[in-house]
Chains A and B, each alone.
Chain A
């Protein structure tokens, strides 16, 4: 493959030199270039799954590649409202365009400073700026702990954590505590919050991390139901069918040791247990309530009082197969056993209503015998779309 797009850039530069003697013609050329770029950017924005639109988008990418570096901001601007895939095309092209001649530092600084721009595009501008000049990082992230771009916010919180750690080294505990508190208030990443809480504890400051994260720690857990051969992921047991039919579980099931449905065709009924997590990260351990059962399924149920309706994200960490329904609608379904877990492992959109909301989780266990495959547990929370914890006004406890 030759250098034709670079040659095209050269031709455009020659053309520009010719046109510069005629201001009207120059303006007309600029208009044409803008129109062409807009057309090419529209082609990029159309890329879709299964490689739809790729042929024309690839051609557009190569044409855009030859544009002057100042056009990088135009490419970033096109990210607004684009799909995640199209954004990846655009951020790659923007970096390529920025390499063409003098780095468009001022334009990118201006673009990044404008919080009305697309947050992903601003993050891309941030990455390009610090790749060009790493010393800009501190300046750009100053005051960015509440940035609408989550990755920029994350980078800003990292700097805050470093600053606080240095204060600890300098034995300035009061200021260090103050700075770590900023992380607790502004951080959205659980690992960063965990780091701040751990440091605060060393400074004698007790913080309930699970509370800060909005972990739901008290559940009615009903089990066990048969999952022989891990074959019952889609089997609808009585708690599930009842919940889906009525939007809630009957209160007489939500009693300690209440009998609920049939676990399988031959065994006795499943029973209810109230399980409360004391874990710092809100992990709810099912094993003690049901004797480390294998090839088994348990359901967890909770009712939450939410002050205001909001579009939310259901966040589950669970090392075994799982499903989650929020207000009767399926938010998550993952048929994976013992293949890694972490907080916020699975995310699913949901809608919370003002007042009472219900959550049902289905947690499956298989029959693996390895020591590392014995966990049967989950951790659940709700956040807004930016990751801000939604803390229920109260956790209703029907049956108690």
Chain B
């Protein structure tokens, strides 16, 4: 078992020989490169799969361009991860959503390969819109780490063998949020980071991926917060996590939890930060781009017109995209200026973050309507309005030319029919 993921997809982005200090950021997908989607918003945490060309004219109710659709055990609103030949999701059901499930499906056929069911050891209650199975699992390519709103954290290998299971609410009985605890875990360099922000015992921990032991734990503000930590590697090679809360954006050393940088600001409590080296885009009432370099942290730009709503920013190339309900907004990554705004027909409430692909930018309404937008540079156009036809809150995965949807009660692979 390797402690450190392979880094075949590691991308070093140099802004300049002097100032570039942050190099690529989401390392969760290091193990298997483009063939996998290992975390919330995928490799790099930017919600992009720029080489992928999923079809833009699918229709799930009629089966058009649906490779397979398989019901899941229970409901889930966390995204799928795609690891080698598996699509792995979480779910929950039973009284008060106390039964929690981790389920792996064959990527080609949709056949269930294994199912592991546990019981919540912490608070299972959530708002009806949310679910105990709300965080997206994360994988290092060899193992999967599934966190639930009940603060249960389970590590399985890809054959479904249990490596360890924590009940973090057993260790911290006052940790919980009855709206839900939806922050997704992140992993880098053999450390799993969980951000369990709430009004009770509010903390973040680094957990040894191999042993399940707590490497470090820090107190964080006692406020509700659903944003997810992001893995990153600093310019000197130090693995780190970026974490946002109501008081600050902090960059923590992965191995120790030491705060390497802190920028005081009131970050958004729902939308997560996105990394575009050397910038960190932080959703807030006034979205802020921070430049992190060897000298510290400084504000690159601020813009209150680029604020996303519920979902998280997507970055591709020199563009940043923000979903704002029925509107998709594009801005310049360099200065934060808005370039275009595109109204999205049939889109009203969005929880899933948009996805950038070579086919277009996919936006998912929670009711199952999808709109695909093409960025023409100084304007945009709607090029597709495919339908899922059922509730979807989870951010999908894109691998190759397939889109993997985790609807409330199913997993669906979208691929161009032969």
Chain A residues with a Cβ under 8 A of chain B: 1, 3, 5-6, 49-51, 54-55, 57-58, 61-62, 65, 84-85, 87-89, 91-93, 95-96, 99, 120, 124, 127-128, 131, 150-151, 154-155, 189, 334-337, 339-342, 345
Residues of A within 8 A of B200 (CB): 334-336
Q: Assuming A1-B142, A340-B126, A340-B179, is B164 touching A58 (CB within 8 A)?
A: yes
Residues of B within 8 A of A84 (CB): 119, 121, 167, 170
Residues of B within 8 A of A5 (CB): 161
CB of B209, distance to nearest CB on chain A (Å) = 12
Give the contacting residue for B199; candidates A57, A96, A339, A345; CB below 8 A: A339
B103-131 contacts to A (CB < 8 Å): 114-119, 121, 125-127
CB of B200, distance to nearest CB on chain A (Å) = 6
B123-176 contacts to A (CB < 8 Å): 125-127, 142, 152, 154, 156-157, 159-167, 170-171, 174
A93 and B162: CB pair below 8 A? yes
What separation, in Å, do the CA atoms of A332 and B316 have in the docked complex? 49
CB of B339, distance to nearest CB on chain A (Å) = 34
Which of B142, B165, B174, B214 has the most C-beta atoms of chain A within 10 angstroms of its own C-beta? B165
CB of B146, distance to nearest CB on chain A (Å) = 11
B171-193 contacts to A (CB < 8 Å): 171, 174, 177-179
Give the contacting residue for B166; candidates A51, A62, A92, A120; CB below 8 A: A51
Say yes or no: is B213 at the interface (Cβ < 8 Å to chain A). Answer: yes
A127 and B117: CB pair below 8 A? yes
A340 and B164: CB pair below 8 A? no
Q: Assuming A189-B95, A339-B199, is B164 touching A51 (CB within 8 A)?
A: yes
Q: Assuming A58-B164, A93-B162, A154-B94, is B121 touching A85 (CB within 8 A)?
A: yes
Give the contacting residue for A88; candidates B114, B115, B118, B126; CB below 8 A: B118
A interface secondary structure, majority: helix
Give the contacting residue for B99; candidates A50, A58, A127, A341; CB below 8 A: A127
Residues of A within 8 A of B170 (CB): 49, 84-85
What separation, in Å, do the CA atoms of A325 and B198 have in the docked complex? 24
B118 and A91: CB pair below 8 A? yes
A91 and B94: CB pair below 8 A? no
A92 and B224: CB pair below 8 A? no
Give the contacting residue for B117; candidates A51, A54, A91; CB below 8 A: A91
A54 and B179: CB pair below 8 A? no
Q: Assuming A339-B179, A340-B126, A340-B178, is B171 touching A49 (CB within 8 A)?
A: yes
Contact with A along B293-329 (1 / 0, CB 8 A): 0000000000000000000000000000000000000
Given A61-B164, A96-B160, 4 new contacts (CB under 8 A): A51-B211, A58-B211, A96-B114, A340-B178
Give the contacting residue for B178; candidates A57, A92, A95, A345; CB below 8 A: A345
Give the contacting residue for A96; candidates B96, B126, B162, B174; CB below 8 A: B162
Residues of B within 8 A of A49 (CB): 167, 170-171
Chain B residues with a Cβ under 8 A of chain A: 1-2, 73, 94-96, 98-99, 114-119, 121, 125-127, 142, 152, 154, 156-157, 159-167, 170-171, 174, 177-179, 198-200, 211-214, 224
Residues of A within 8 A of B116 (CB): 92, 95-96
Q: Assuming A88-B118, A340-B126, A342-B125, is B152 touching A58 (CB within 8 A)?
A: no
CB of A5, distance to nearest CB on chain B (Å) = 7
Residues of B within 8 A of A335 (CB): 174, 199-200
- 13 A-B residue pairings within 8 Å (CB atoms): A58-B163, A65-B161, A84-B167, A85-B121, A91-B118, A92-B162, A96-B160, A96-B161, A127-B117, A155-B94, A337-B199, A340-B177, A340-B178
B165 and A89: CB pair below 8 A? yes
- Residue of chain B at shortest CB distance from A192: B95
What separation, in Å, do the CA atoms of A127 and B99 have in the docked complex? 10
A340 and B162: CB pair below 8 A? no
What separation, in Å, do the CA atoms of A123 and B119 have in the docked complex? 10
Give the contacting residue for B212; candidates A51, A334, A339; CB below 8 A: A51
- Residue of chain B at shortest CB distance from A336: B199
- Residue of chain B at shortest CB distance from A51: B213
What separation, in Å, do the CA atoms of A50 and B73 have in the docked complex? 29
CB of B190, distance to nearest CB on chain A (Å) = 13
B94 and A54: CB pair below 8 A? no
Closest 10 CB pairs of A and B: A340-B178, A154-B95, A92-B162, A51-B213, A1-B1, A336-B199, A88-B118, A65-B161, A340-B179, A49-B171
CB of A52, distance to nearest CB on chain B (Å) = 9
What separation, in Å, do the CA atoms of A4 and B238 have in the docked complex? 33
B121 and A54: CB pair below 8 A? no
Which of A54, A55, A62, A345 has the most C-beta atoms of chain B within 10 angstroms of its own C-beta? A54
A92 and B165: CB pair below 8 A? yes
Residues of B within 8 A of A340 (CB): 125-127, 177-179
What separation, in Å, do the CA atoms of A5 and B117 have in the docked complex? 21
Residues of A within 8 A of B1 (CB): 1
What separation, in Å, do the CA atoms of A99 and B126 have in the docked complex? 32
What separation, in Å, do the CA atoms of A127 and B288 have in the docked complex? 47
B178 and A131: CB pair below 8 A? no
CB of A123, distance to nearest CB on chain B (Å) = 8
B163 and A151: CB pair below 8 A? no
CB of B97, distance to nearest CB on chain A (Å) = 11
Residues of A within 8 A of B157 (CB): 1
A91 and B213: CB pair below 8 A? no
What separation, in Å, do the CA atoms of A54 and B123 have in the docked complex? 23
What separation, in Å, do the CA atoms of A155 and B116 have in the docked complex? 19
Residues of B within 8 A of A189 (CB): 95-96
What separation, in Å, do the CA atoms of A334 and B178 have in the docked complex? 12
A95 and B164: CB pair below 8 A? no
CB of B246, distance to nearest CB on chain A (Å) = 14
Give the contacting residue for A92; candidates B118, B177, B213; CB below 8 A: B118
Q: Assuming A1-B142, A85-B167, A93-B162, is B114 touching A341 (CB within 8 A)?
A: no
What separation, in Å, do the CA atoms of A111 and B177 have in the docked complex? 36
CB of B124, distance to nearest CB on chain A (Å) = 11
What separation, in Å, do the CA atoms of A128 and B212 have in the docked complex? 26
What separation, in Å, do the CA atoms of A131 and B160 have in the docked complex? 15
What separation, in Å, do the CA atoms of A128 and B116 have in the docked complex? 9
A120 and B119: CB pair below 8 A? yes
CB of B282, distance to nearest CB on chain A (Å) = 23
What separation, in Å, do the CA atoms of A93 and B160 have in the docked complex? 9
A88 and B214: CB pair below 8 A? no
Residues of A within 8 A of B152 (CB): 88
- Residue of chain B at shortest CB distance from A62: B161
A339 and B99: CB pair below 8 A? no
Q: Assuming A54-B213, A339-B178, is B119 touching A99 (CB within 8 A)?
A: no
Residues of B within 8 A of A88 (CB): 118-119, 121, 152, 154, 165, 167
Residues of B within 8 A of A57 (CB): 164
Residues of B within 8 A of A155 (CB): 94
A151 and B98: CB pair below 8 A? yes
Residues of A within 8 A of B126 (CB): 340
What separation, in Å, do the CA atoms of A337 and B224 have in the docked complex? 10
B177 and A339: CB pair below 8 A? yes
What separation, in Å, do the CA atoms of A85 and B122 have in the docked complex? 11
Residues of A within 8 A of B99 (CB): 127, 151
